[in-house]
Amino acid sequence: MNENKLCEETYFNNFYLEHVQSASNFAFYKCGDKDGALDFVQDAFSKIWVNCSKIDFTKAKTYLFTTINNLFLNTIKHNKVVMEYAKATPYLDKTNESPDYILEEEEFKKKLQQAISLLSDAQREVFLLNRIEGKKYREIAELLDISQKAVEKRMSGALQILREHIENI
């Protein structure tokens, strides 16, 4: 067996730096715990490093996300996932600066936050991967090792629930 690239320190470090953010995002979408998410990520990277000789380096990214997923499934308790908004973001209607409008939009953002936390794990991770990471359904399917059809179904379900909740409150 050839010396696996993944076992080289520099290659691994680059791989780590490249994927640690998206991996920790992914973990966060699942568990909603900032520190817990990073723990999952570190554990997953540990597994890759320890088993570097057995892992095809072209499949390392998939392995990383699958491992995070599995680690998450192994933990029993997890927090409600409440997403934070980035600071100083524009409103949908950039020209409208009336206090009423702003209040209305802030209200909406809160509702959305709450609604997202009510989604199932599967729906939430697909929805957030799509929205925040801007990933295509195809990419998400690849990442989660499921079919694109399944991704679309989860997305559709997520949108329906979000809409119902926001409009009902």
| Site for other proteins contains 120 (CB under 8 A) | no
Question: What are residue 8's phi and psi, to 5 degrees?
Answer: -80, 135
DSSP state letter for 169: -
| Site for other proteins contains 21 (CB under 8 A) | yes
Q: What separation in angstroms does the CA of 168 have from each of 85, 112, 164?
A: 22, 12, 6
| Cα angle: 163, vertex 96, 162; to 5 degrees | 10
Applying CB under 8 A, the site for other proteins has a residue count of: 53
Choose one: 56-64, 66-74, 95-103, 105-113; the region binding other proteins (CB under 8 A). 105-113
**Structure tokens given for 47:** 């597994």
> Which residues form the interface with other proteins (CB under 8 A)?
1, 7, 13, 16-17, 20-21, 24-25, 28-29, 34, 37-38, 41-42, 45-46, 49-54, 83-86, 89, 92, 105, 108-109, 112-113, 116, 127-128, 130-132, 134, 136-137, 152, 155-156, 159-160, 162-163, 166-167
